[in-house]
Chain A
Amino acid sequence: MTDAALPQKRYATAADYLNLMKPRIMMLVVFTGFAGLVAASGMTGITMHPAMAAIATLAVALGSGAAGAINMWYDSDIDAVMTRTSTRPIPSGAVPREEALALGLIMSGVSVMLMWLASNWLAAGLLAFSIFYYGVIYTMWLKRATPQNIVIGGGAGAFPPVIGWAAVTGNTPLDAWILFAIIFFWTPPHFWALSLLAHKEYAKVSVPMLPVTHGARVTRQQILIYTLVLVPVSLLPLATGLGGWIYGAAALGLGATFLAYAIRLVRSDAGDATSTGAGMKLARNTFVFSILYLFALFGAVLVEHAAGLHFPLTGT
Chain B
Amino acid sequence: MAETPDTAAPQLDAEALKARKRRNLWLGLALAAFVVLVMITTVIRLNTGIGVSERM
Contact = CB atoms under 8 A, between A and B. Distances in A.
Contacts of A17: 26
B16 A55 contact: no
**Most A CB atoms within 10 A — which of B18, B34, B45, B51?**
B51
B51 to A, nearest CB: 7
B37 A52 contact: no
A14 B26 contact: yes
Contacts of B2: none
Contact of A49 (B18, B42, B44): B44
Interface residues of A, number: 15
A114 B51 CA distance: 14
Contact of B16 (A11, A114, A120): A11
A11 B41 contact: no
Which secondary structure characterizes the binding site on chain A? helix
Interface string A10-22: 0111100100000
B19 A117 contact: no
A12 B20 CA distance: 9
Nearest to A58: B37
What are the 4 A-B residue pairs with the smallest beta carbon separation, nearest first? A11-B19, A117-B41, A49-B44, A118-B41
Given A11-B16, A14-B22, A52-B50, 18 more contacts: A11-B15, A11-B18, A11-B19, A12-B23, A13-B22, A49-B44, A49-B50, A51-B44, A52-B41, A52-B44, A55-B40, A58-B37, A114-B34, A114-B38, A117-B37, A117-B41, A118-B41, A120-B51
